[in-house]
Chain A
């Protein structure tokens, strides 16, 4: 089977995504898991690029890697005091979790392979960079309201996170 370089890179990203995600799920050390998650997030950003979603890819990197992941690492550090970083796995939960996840996987696989809307779809023509278009849609067209609401949501999250964290400050 001949692979063109583009495809090769795609499959590389795909593999990376999955492999790192598997590591996230299985590895005992939570710090390694966090770093492995970083790899996953990067790879997903790479996949966005293949989907010609450049703005999305950038956002993914900035928000996820720059924000969320850092937050997670902070969390790991701040809660590591008494906690052993080794993760415990309990057998029953593990078993049933596995069964359920596999079943879901099976169901979803069946869905993606059988849904007529997704069969043999033509890949659309290459698009312009989407940033401008996204900006227009968010600021002028139907996504204005969601944008505003999302901003309120962020504000609320900000206040809330601060409020709950601030408890700690008052504690001391």
Chain B
């Protein structure tokens, strides 16, 4: 089941590449759309069928891959991954729809997109560390090309920057990963990459993996790898560039999924597997005890302030992502139920909301061919539906209760407050600033007198609405009844080494 979901896009890539002629652009788009629906169906099925009360992984598939290093093809999902898989699968068809207007080399675009989807779904399903890393890296290549070929004017710079940053992070992660592998056994006792096994070993007193010093270093290695992806200050500067230059659908994927890969990794590896390392950086004591929370705080405030300074619509949204990922971090740092639940929920919700935001930016960019916030004005009267949806998305993003963004943020902060009082209070500044930049943007773009240049601007069309509505519904539904999501991963959270 999982393998099917992972590799169908890959198969689809081959179909698109080899079975469709270059001229048949419409066909290619339709085929891709249908292909991306399959993982979505599977993901929905998994979401429904997943046994919420059982802890641990389900739908596992496990077989030997590379015997020499005891590398296995081991996939499985728990509640945490299933939500993210669902998000990925959902954004798949939406992004294909959002890419409908691309006119240059659509076949290659779609093929790369499908490859990307395989990487992302695979990453969330992988239970073997090696496999995990392979999928992690697998997303790099298509992303590079997707930004680099189909991006904006500074696409080359943005693409290589993204690539270099991520690779930088992942090589450190590679070292940590190898070290963990080597420590997991000896020449006599088989070593392993199996994540569940490693988690158990790391808890076993006296085992080499449980050594705090080792865990701290390993933690750092993994952390930097994921931090670049999240991105955590000061590794974040690739993000505004990449987001701004990427085509709309790719920004959606970047913000919606790729950033989550970082935080997912933090939960899966740093949190679950390296509790001692985590403890060192999050226990609130000693020189390093506040590190993670401080980073979260910086992300929140710094990202928000930067967002406020932007005049490029897309860049603003990009920086807002940095801010919002800060809530995830600070929630993780809290290491308690509400913090962690909040963090995970925020991951999912931010995926949905930021996807909406980027889609919305794309809509207006398609019409006005620029994104300068000050260059609009008064669009509210010409594009009421668009304005309405944007307002919804903005409100969700600035954490309006009743919409999904709030629950994650609030839980993260509630959880964090019990550990890091001052930092959490300072972080709430992000809530105010968040409101400030969104409202200011709303004002500059939609309110006020209509900019005469846009007298003839057209309202959002059906296809675009179709990409936004599912996300909007999710935003509202999860805002009202977040338990739908929380039920999924409550057991998964309870298995993590929580500290009350």
Touch between chains A and B, by CB atoms below 8 Å: no
